[in-house]
Structure 1
């Protein structure tokens, strides 16, 4: 039979026992020996000893002999490992909470809404304060619900008389710090979905797996030092701190009983986690300030900015482009900064990979003009507009809006600008009316004027029936209308429209043109497009961009006279029987004429520009009766790419027609 316990009386020859006897200032020392493989043997030995002691003291004949010391088994409520698991599981939902704020911040930056708000005058401090306040109010409600659940289930570990304050403080400090940390991490992402997923994953790994690793290692006496060293490093992660604090609260009773802790606020309980997070909170906000503050961003971008960069002039530059540059240079030398609303001088944009998107373009726009940039995707139109609207700074040259330098006087320049980006910068959860009111408030328009402003813009852009509709439910065309309406809020002096009618059907597109024409009566408009028909309908001045260069600039008629390759002749005959006679006449009078469309009585021909407009008209007028023509028209090509095709094809680019 195995021996589970024994009693050893004092043996003066045993040094250890002598030391123990001296400590207790006595010589009658009894030592209990027990086999640790029997978990309850120590208690049984002690109970047996006291039972024998009572019997020896009272005597065998005592009436109290029927009494004896009994041992009761009181199982522990939780093992240490159980406390660790409970704390980690309670902590897991809190690790997911910072993923929501970071997703919205990245989404606003991704869709361009943040830039649009900055352009309208939103303060850096107002933006972050508003976000932080809203996120913390939502988190505060979550914290209260969590505390309520602890109370309902009587979790005295968390809501006991001496712990409720510590629990609340731990959760709130974690919320403040983790949200600020999420904002700091937001600058690492360009897509809101990946930001949310990665931040959530990092929080889970740091808050659960690392926490479990540290505490499981601490259970092994040989790894206690390693565990302690890891704690100091992992506390830099807020989700680890909240987990450590929760486990500390769960294990507090055991430590109080052993005398290794005095309260929940001890440094080894809540002290270190709270201290670490309190230090990290301003550190995270400092990162946000350094990365996102407009002054800091501009200082960093100016490192690559060279106002006096050499012009990049192609060898085959058009004379009109050269004349435009000379006129702009002359106005600058005379100090005239008020005659034009937009002045661009040798504007360049070179990316880090060496690609030059905009190659030293120069032009000016005068009050009341509608200036159209025409070109294919990748020509540099959007990059030019983005620089003028300060989405990013140029790397060379200069630009002025309403007389203000976009680099040196950026804030003043932005106050003059309205901007419709190429892709809709709308907030999905707001209605059309709420979006317009938001930007009206940012522009500084008094609240009493909002209803009239919203009514006017909704009427102008044909959004009246959608004003209460959430933006996410709008069609693509109506989103473009809303983007144009936002650009017009506040009556800016210059409105930049980057492909405003993209994705619209023909009917909606013409409605958009009407709105732009009406708005152009009160401001200058700069629009980009790759539709000749849109330029024909809206623009007073046209600049064609090809591979980063402005290849030609001027009014529409001048450019078509200079670069157009054909007249379009539309003829209506008295009868289809005269078609052969008319065809023979065209072959004799205009050998290079090409029949482009028409059957029967109506015929359309394209004529090369080797003869003047008046000569062509006179030829048809003289032969009208002989050819049995009941009606005809001679016009420059306007509704296809033919008007500028010779120019565009010569530079390897085709401009799309409508």
Structure 2
């Protein structure tokens, strides 16, 4: 009920398409007898139909003929008298319309002569060479009237392009004759009787009705096939979305303990159950709209097994199309495009292929080839559905026209092969989907040991990292909860993401993985959780190998990925219940465990809210709760506090600390960008640079080893306006107040230090601004030049002072930004007292133009920045941060 898109694609759209299609089909192609047709001249063009007539000579003919054709008796057309001479022709063998009447000859004074002459004259009036042609002649008369014998006779002439003209014009003349005699009867009153004549078409025969009904069934089969092209699209979109990197909820399920067969079987059951609704609706609609070739009702040529065969066809189609779509899902990486392409693909291999095959069957020269090709086409479930329904229809038509008996729909000539293929492919495609997923999930690592050896030869390894690698190699880490042995990942194209990691983590330890983006942290975590296969090396989690024992490994771990792998339409409680059940928590204890996690992560106010409506911080809390539910032995947290406010972050730290360092319940591997988080939680820290572990140890160990001495942060005074005015006047005089590239060295010499000119470069931490102005404008303004020279001189004086105080090589510039500078200060014995540092600074504070300063021990962040600046790929260091040896 929450997923409206699924309802539309799975239920509403197919049913509506079938209902609309069958409704239109039923209304436009109803099998009813043709209605009666009133025979009048109203169907002819024009307001009055010109009707030529001629009165044949005889006693009283002229009088009665003209009276009968008068408007008082003759209506419905416009009678127009013709002139025909007496006799009609000069001889009894005239030539008319290119035909000479000799055998038999005409009687030029009789009705045969006048009939031919009448036709000739009417034709010339309508189609001759005269200027005033008469249009709309559909009938005419040769009239004979004899008052002495009370007789009126006539011949009707009709235009055969008007199908009903003979009956219409006979009825008009009969009406006129009746009126004439009625008016001249003994009563002497005129008759107003209208003679109405109708045409009643013959009804359809039963055979014709059967053929017509079966023909409409062909279109019905087409509509059904089109409707079910949308079903695979509703399935594939969720499968592809589940495996996308930014929403890898499938991997989250697998890491939590779901086996691949269970994953696919649960999808199969759910998708098939969802399919049953449109399937049932389609079968009901077929019955409601009385598609006789598919229902077998009112169909003498149909077998009693017709509708059961259709039901079986629909059921097997559902069983085959679901795993067929699972196999298609491996072709796509984006769920939006997957939906579109799946609809188009199924339309092509279903509807289009069905129509193409039908056309090939009707052509004698291609029917044999198509019979063979069908064995290939039948690997498409949608083709089997459409072709199966079509075969039912054509079988019904063939039985009506050519056979006296009925053919079983289960025979190979009808839908036997379609049913067989659907049954076999439902097993084949399901097995193939599981195999493809196994091959991708449990792929063997590619051995690139020769690259591994070359790398080791050319790169120096930190002594702590080497010591840990030696411990692992010696087998002393075999009892550790986590052990990495030469783990390495090389992506296609030669990109080395992780370089030969070897270390171990004991139970209850919280290990911090630090590194800028691209350092290899997330890739390492993905290799350990089975999302990415290593190129070389291996690892064990809880004693199980990540390559050969992934199923056992996944029972040991909880995983909070970098991107929230949540189901938008499940609530917080439903997520925890789902993953709690996956991890094997007994049903009797599940509610209690879920409530504990909700309270532990402070999610009580959001218990019944859908995950899609949660804030970023609460999504991270839910992801951490999922990772921790079931108390796994090893927990991977990839940037768990991202998007959290400071209060929530502190709360999260307490939760993690309770589990690892205090309770010693689980080993936690934590990646983060927050040095504060790392110092608060981690018992050991490793900093990765360019995929390589550069240092390893506790926070205090790293500070002691890499953070020797003190950090001196200082801000210097900017030169005053008076100082700048004096310098500008002294250096530039009354001349131009601009410095050009040619003048730069001379002006620096005039200031008192010609070497300053070498610092005006794009790579210098402060000189880059002058270099940019020089490149942009072609000059530097005098005030900006003098101000920069003063700042550089003051910085040099302070730097020289510190070097004199602590010795050469003991003072290192770590960072410079405009008037700010950061120094690392050491002494020869590696001990610098705060008192000495403060005394030295206070003595020269005014002289050195120091505005403010601070002295502190080297922080973990500063150590991290020092290592991070050495990364060759994806540099993340700002201008002015210096690399440290």
TM-score under structure 1 length normalisation:
0.77
Match of 1:529 in 2: 672
Once the 2 structures are TM-superposed, how far is the Cα of residue 568 of structure 1 from its aligned partner? 4.7
Q: SS of the counterpart of 1:301? A: coil
Partner residue in 2 for 1:337: 478
Q: How much has 1:369 moved relative to structure 2?
A: 2.0
Equivalent runs, 1:115-154 vs 2, <5 Å:
115-154=251-290
Are residues 634 and 182 of structure 1, via their aligned partners in 2, closer, same or farther at CA, if it must alter by over 3 Å?
A: same
Give the alignment of 1:107-256 within 5 angstroms. Answer: 107-110=241-244, 111-161=247-297, 162=304, 163-256=306-399
Whether 1:485 and 2:653 are equivalent positions in the alignment is: no
Cα distance in 1, alignment partners of residues 215 and 289 from structure 2: 21
- Whether the 8 Å CA contact 1:376–1:655 is kept in 2: the answer is no
Cα deviation, residue 375, structure 1:
0.7
Q: Could you report, residue by residue, the CA deviation over 1:70-126 in whole angstroms, capped at 9, with x for unpaired residues?
A: 976656663987554332122111122122222222222222222222222212332
SS of the equivalent of 1:269 reads coil
Return the index of the structure with the highest Cα Rg.
2
Provide closer, same or farther for how the CA distance between residues 82 and 232 of structure 1 changes in structure 2, counting only shifts above 3 A.
Answer: farther
Shift in CA distance, 399/500, structure 1 to aligned 2, threshold 3 Å: same
Distance 1:649 1:128, change over 3 A: closer
Over 3 Å counting, the alpha-carbon distance change for 1:307 and 1:280 in structure 2 is farther
**SS, match of residue 385 in structure 1:** helix
Q: Secondary structure at the match of 1:496?
A: strand
Residue 396 of structure 1 is matched in structure 2 by: 536
SS in 2 for 1:435: helix
Equivalent-residue separation in structure 2 for 1:285 and 1:304 (angstroms): 31
Q: 1:398 aligns to what SS in structure 2?
A: strand
Partners in 2 of 1:595 and 1:107 — Cα distance?
Answer: 45
**Per the alignment, in what secondary structure is the counterpart of residue 251 of structure 1?**
helix
Name the CA distance, whole Å, in 1 between partners of 2:551 and 2:370: 53
Contact 2:485–2:537, Cα closer than 8 Å, also in 1: yes
Aligned to 2:857: 636
Per-residue CA deviations over 1:205-242 (Å, capped at 9, x if unaligned) read 12111211222343444443344344333222111111
Kindly state the Cα deviation for residue 421 of structure 1 after the two structures are TM-superposed.
1.1
Greater shift, 226-235 or 76-85, is seen at 76-85
1:139 deviates by 1.2
CA distances 1:584-618 after superposition (whole Å, capped 9, x unpaired): x9999747799999xxxxx9985522245652235
Q: Give runs of aligned pairs for residues 598-613 of structure 1, distance below 5 A.
A: 606-611=822-827
Q: Is the 8 A contact 1:566 1:607 kept in 2?
A: no
Q: Cα offset for 1:544? A: 0.9
1:172: Cα distance to partner?
0.8
Shift in Å, 1:514: 2.9
Is contact 1:595-1:604 (8 Å) kept? Answer: no
- 1:645 maps to what in 2? 865
Deviation at 1:196, TM superposition (A): 2.4
User: What are structure 1's unaligned runs of at least 5 residues?
Assistant: 2-69, 572-582, 598-602
Tell me if 1:496 matches 2:642. no
Please report how far the alpha carbon of residue 200 of structure 1 lies from its aligned counterpart in structure 2 after TM superposition: 1.8
- 1: distance between equivalents of 2:871 and 2:286? 73
Distance verdict in 2 for CA 1:214–1:645, change over 3 Å: closer
Q: In the alignment, does 2:407 pair up with 1:281? A: no
* SS in structure 2 at match of 1:362: strand
**Alignment partner, residue 651 of structure 2:** 511
Alpha-carbon distance in structure 1 between the residues aligned to 2:410 and 2:673: 67
Normalised to the residue count of structure 2, the TM-score between the two structures is: 0.58
User: How much does 1:489 deviate?
Assistant: 1.0
Q: Which residue of 2 aligns with 1:266?
A: 411
Deviations 1:284-319 (A, max 9, x none): 1221232223xx557641464879964843533222
Alignment partner, residue 228 of structure 2 = 94
What are structure 2's unaligned runs of at least 5 residues? 1-96, 98-200, 298-303, 715-794, 804-810, 847-851
Mapped contact 2:445–2:536 kept (Cα < 8 A): no
8 Å Cα contact 2:826-2:832 kept in structure 1: no
Change (3 A) 1:595 1:505: same
**SS of the counterpart of 2:444?**
helix
Q: 1:301 to 1:320 in 2, by over 3 A?
A: same
SS of the residue corresponding to residue 462 of structure 1 reads: coil
Contact 2:689 2:867 in 1 (8 A): no
Q: Spell out the pairing of 1:412-561 with structure 2 (5 A cutoff).
A: 412-520=552-660, 521=662, 522-561=665-704
Shift in CA distance, 242/305, structure 1 to aligned 2, threshold 3 Å:
farther
Asked if 1:615 is matched to 2:833, the reply is: yes
If asked which structure has higher relative contact order (CA below 8 Å, sep 6+), I would say 1
Paired with 2:701 and 2:371, the residues of 1 have a C-alpha distance of: 80
**Per-residue deviation, 1:636:** 1.8
Rate the CA distance shift 1:613–1:514 in 2: closer, same or farther, 3 A: farther
Equivalent runs, 1:45-60 vs 2, <5 Å: none
Deviates more, 1:558-567 or 1:178-187: 558-567
1:262-411 correspondence to structure 2 within 5 Å: 262-293=407-438, 300-302=443-445, 304=447, 310=453, 312-313=455-456, 314-330=458-474, 332=475, 337-338=478-479, 340-411=480-551
Work out whether residues 512 and 686 of structure 2, in 8 Å CA contact, stay in contact via their aligned partners in 1.
yes
Relative to structure 1, the CA distance from residue 645 to residue 130 in structure 2 (aligned partners, 3 Å threshold; closer, same or farther) is closer
Q: Displacement, 1:175?
A: 0.8
Distance 2:216 2:272 in 1: 31
Q: In structure 2, what is the Cα distance between the partners aligned to 1:605 and 1:376?
A: 23
Separation (CA, whole Å) in 1 of partners of 2:600 and 2:820: 37
Q: CA deviation at 1:349?
A: 1.6
Deviation at 1:626, TM superposition (A): 13
**Aligned in 2, Cα 1:644/1:90: closer, same or farther, shift over 3 Å?**
closer
Following superposition of structure 1 onto structure 2, how do residues 60-79 of structure 1 map, counting pairs within 5 Å? 78=212
Distance 2:215 2:369 in 1: 18
Does the CA contact (< 8 Å) of 2:659 and 2:666 recur in 1? yes
Q: Answer whether contact 1:311 1:360 (CA < 8 A) is retained.
A: no
Q: CA deviation at 1:277?
A: 1.6
2-structure distance, mates of 1:548, 1:570 = 31
Question: 2:350 is paired with a residue of what secondary structure?
Answer: helix
CA distance in 2, matches of 1:596, 1:310: 36
Contact 1:593 1:605 in 2 (8 A): no
C-alpha spacing 1:496/1:481, structure 2 compared with 1 (3 Å): same
SS at match of 2:687: strand
Match of 1:564 in 2: 707
In structure 2, the residue corresponding to 1:345 is in which secondary structure?
strand
**1:419–1:299 Cα change, 3 Å:** closer
Could you say if the C-alpha distance between residues 620 and 261 of structure 1 is closer, same or farther in structure 2, counting changes exceeding 3 Å?
Answer: same
